[in-house]
Chain A
Amino acid sequence: MKEKRREFLKNLGRIAGYGVLGGLFAGFGRSLWPNILYEPPKRVRLLDPKNLAEGMNYFPEQRLFVFKKGDEVWAISAVCQHLGCTVNFVPFGGKVKKKILGKEVEEEWEFHCPCHGSKYSQDGDIYEGPAPRGLPFHPLEIDPATGYLVVDLSKEVKKDWRLKLS
């Protein structure tokens, strides 16, 4: 009986000891997962759409290409979907006929990644290199109060998405 009690207490002490140590280190580890992030917002005001140039506009801080064709505007991310490098905008200086993914297409520009050679078509489709998916399109909107162009980098839209400027 006495032995049993001694064993029991010993085990109790052991469990308590390991429990405290384990809990302590779990807590230490948890502290490394931030609860507050002081990061730039994902929804960003870009500029007055009047100042958009026809064709490509690059926003380096957002790593974003905004294209304007007539009254249509759309935004393609410059973040390579392979391992996060910034892709380069490669203009052809006019329309060029190319065969991409088995289809004849006419392109004015492409996106090429300097890090591992991923190549994206004019519409951000991956056609060569290691990237697992195409460049994402982000939604644009006109802020009703200021009339400025706003992008939401946390959201994605289909690649035929266009914002009509009136």
Chain B
Amino acid sequence: MKEKLYQVWRALVWTFDPSDRTEAGKAITRNFWLHWFPPRMTKASLSWSYSLWLGTISASLFLILAVTGIILMFLYVPSVERAYQSIKDLEYAVSFGWILRNMHRWSAHMMVAAVFLHMVRVFYTGAYKNGMSHMARREINWLVGIILLLLTLLLSFSGYLLPWDQLAIWAVTVGTQIAKSVPIIGDEIYFVLAGGTNLDQNALIRFYTLHVIFLPVLTLILISYHMWRVRKDEGLAITEQFNIARKKGEAVQPEMVFSSPWAVRRIFLVFMGTLTWILFLSVFLDSPLEEPASLEWTPNPAKAPWYFLWLQELIAITTIRIGGITINGGFVGGVLIPGIITTLLAVWAFIDKSPAEATGVWFHKSRLVQNIVFTILALIIVGMIFFAMYFRGPYWEVYWPWAWPELPEII
């Protein structure tokens, strides 16, 4: 049995029997499915504890999202009259519709978390640094990664408004109004995003198209570029540690392994692990669906999904009043502050001047200060999410989590 499986494996991934290392390498580069791997890689770069495999987890989630998403496209109607009903049908009428929707939703939530943690890992390990390499331009990949994080958030935003329930309509209302609060060009941005002066069919079809074609294709292109760059940058940053040791005169010989089966096996394991986790969540935790979208009344409180709660907290507290001038918190907390944070993150890889030794190691002591600042920033965001989640009640007022009053009557 084991022998048989091995034969099948070889038939699938090896085009011929390698008789030496060169041939074994060629077996990988000449195989269509494996040609984007290098023939061999350092065993260190496959380490579980170095990368935590968060990038592979993110990519696995993207794959699950693509597959479930395409099936959902057959079942969902992007019309304000029928969108909500088609989600209800997914829950109650379509065979296994519930698991499709749950998997798609849980993968989306997990992808936001995984991509964010991937960024955190890259920061703490100084993995956007080039070490001793003259070829590597890892800061470009950091920049691409930031864009991918933004795309992940945009995909989530455009996705959760498709059910056209109360969560959806108020998210898209607040989201588009944030765009509208931008000085001078705000009205035009709102007009083209919503396709008019109010939120109706035009807005839904626009966000639908963004969600199912424009954003995923852009994300796929950038993911591919992200992977391609890893190879052009001579592998993960951890490999720089060998160059640094060699420069110091140490006779290190990194252990090299063939990509197949070493990398392939681990990628498969990570993918299966991710899929299992998503399936587990999807079987036991159902996706919520609020009442049908209605601009006539707003749920009290109307809370965004967890990854936007810190922004909701920000836009609620950042309206600036100086003398007679008032700047809407929608612009300050929804555009200006996130814009500054994103810009700082994006350029940081270009201005971080820590020594080459800090490349590809966790918490290098030369990067102590920036690691602390980064951690504080991240904790502020996470703290705001928790605060908004557990301490904000009706009318966005502060309550103890256990002391929420009865919801006031809504007219």
B178 part of interface (Cβ distance < 8 Å): yes
Q: Does A39 contact B197, Cβ atoms closer than 8 Å? A: yes
Contacts of A86 in B (CB 8 A): 295-298
Complex-state Cα separation, A113 to B192, whole angstroms: 27
Residue A132 contacts which of B200, B302, B316, B326 (CB distance < 8 angstroms)?
Answer: B326
Complex-state Cα separation, A85 to B169, whole angstroms: 10
Complex-state Cα separation, A59 to B394, whole angstroms: 23
Contacts of B326 in A (CB 8 A): 132-133
Complex-state Cα separation, A91 to B382, whole angstroms: 37
Contacts of B382-403 to chain A: CB distance below 8 A: 394-397
**Can you sample 28 A-B contacts with CB below 8 Å?**
A33-B191, A58-B411, A63-B295, A82-B328, A82-B329, A82-B330, A84-B174, A84-B177, A86-B295, A88-B297, A88-B410, A88-B411, A112-B395, A113-B396, A114-B299, A114-B301, A114-B302, A114-B394, A114-B395, A115-B170, A115-B312, A115-B316, A116-B329, A117-B396, A130-B328, A131-B319, A132-B328, A132-B329
A145 part of interface (Cβ distance < 8 Å): no
Contacts of A78-111 to chain B: CB distance below 8 A: 82-90
Interface of B toward A, CB cutoff 8 Å: 170, 173-174, 176-178, 181, 191-192, 195-198, 200, 202, 206, 294-302, 312, 315-319, 326-330, 394-397, 408, 410-411
Q: Does B327 contact A132, Cβ atoms closer than 8 Å? A: yes
Smallest CB-CB separation from B410: which chain A residue? A88
Complex-state Cα separation, A84 to B328, whole angstroms: 12
Q: Which of B192, B319, B395, B410 has the most CB of A within 10 A?
A: B395
Contacts of B396 in A (CB 8 A): 113-117, 129
Residue B319 contacts which of A63, A82, A88, A112 (CB distance < 8 angstroms)?
Answer: A82
Complex-state Cα separation, A115 to B334, whole angstroms: 14
A26 part of interface (Cβ distance < 8 Å): no
Smallest CB-CB separation from B330: which chain A residue? A83
Residue B315 contacts which of A61, A83, A89 (CB distance < 8 angstroms)?
Answer: A83
Contacts of A131 in B (CB 8 A): 319
A32 part of interface (Cβ distance < 8 Å): yes
Complex-state Cα separation, A21 to B137, whole angstroms: 32
Complex-state Cα separation, A129 to B397, whole angstroms: 10
Smallest CB-CB separation from A80: which chain B residue? B298
Contacts of A58 in B (CB 8 A): 411
Complex-state Cα separation, A60 to B197, whole angstroms: 18
Complex-state Cα separation, A113 to B298, whole angstroms: 8
Contacts of B173 in A (CB 8 A): 83-85
Q: Does A132 contact B319, Cβ atoms closer than 8 Å? A: yes
Q: Which of A112, A113, A131, A132 has the most CB of B within 10 A?
A: A132
With A39-B198, A82-B329, A85-B302 given, name 4 new contacts (CB 8 A): A86-B296, A86-B297, A115-B174, A130-B330
Q: How many residues of A contact B (CB 8 A)?
A: 31
Q: Does B192 contact A83, Cβ atoms closer than 8 Å? A: no
Complex-state Cα separation, A131 to B231, whole angstroms: 50
Residue interface mask A123-157, B partner, CB < 8 A = 1 = 00000011111000000000000000000000000
Interface of A toward B, CB cutoff 8 Å: 32-34, 37, 39-40, 58, 60-61, 63, 82-90, 112-117, 119, 129-133
Smallest CB-CB separation from A117: which chain B residue? B396
Complex-state Cα separation, A114 to B302, whole angstroms: 6
Q: Does B197 contact A83, Cβ atoms closer than 8 Å? A: no
Least distance between B168 CB and chain A CB atoms (Å): 14
Smallest CB-CB separation from B201: which chain A residue? A38
Known: A83-B178, A113-B395, A117-B396. A34 touches B328 (CB 8 A): no
Q: Does A61 contact B296, Cβ atoms closer than 8 Å? A: yes
Least distance between B399 CB and chain A CB atoms (Å): 12
Contacts of A83 in B (CB 8 A): 173-174, 177-178, 181, 315, 328, 330
Contacts of A90 in B (CB 8 A): 408
Q: Does B192 contact A32, Cβ atoms closer than 8 Å? A: yes
Q: Does B170 contact A129, Cβ atoms closer than 8 Å? A: no
Q: Which of B206, B296, B397 has the most CB of A within 10 A?
A: B296
Contacts of B315 in A (CB 8 A): 82-83, 116, 130
Smallest CB-CB separation from B332: which chain A residue? A130
Least distance between B254 CB and chain A CB atoms (Å): 48
Complex-state Cα separation, A8 to B316, whole angstroms: 59
Q: Does B202 contact A34, Cβ atoms closer than 8 Å? A: yes
Complex-state Cα separation, A115 to B411, whole angstroms: 15
Smallest CB-CB separation from A81: which chain B residue? B328
Complex-state Cα separation, A106 to B14, whole angstroms: 84
Complex-state Cα separation, A115 to B175, whole angstroms: 12
Complex-state Cα separation, A37 to B170, whole angstroms: 22
Q: Does A39 contact B196, Cβ atoms closer than 8 Å? A: yes
Complex-state Cα separation, A129 to B178, whole angstroms: 16
Smallest CB-CB separation from B411: which chain A residue? A89
Q: Which of A40, A87, A114, A132 has the most CB of B within 10 A?
A: A114
Least distance between B349 CB and chain A CB atoms (Å): 31
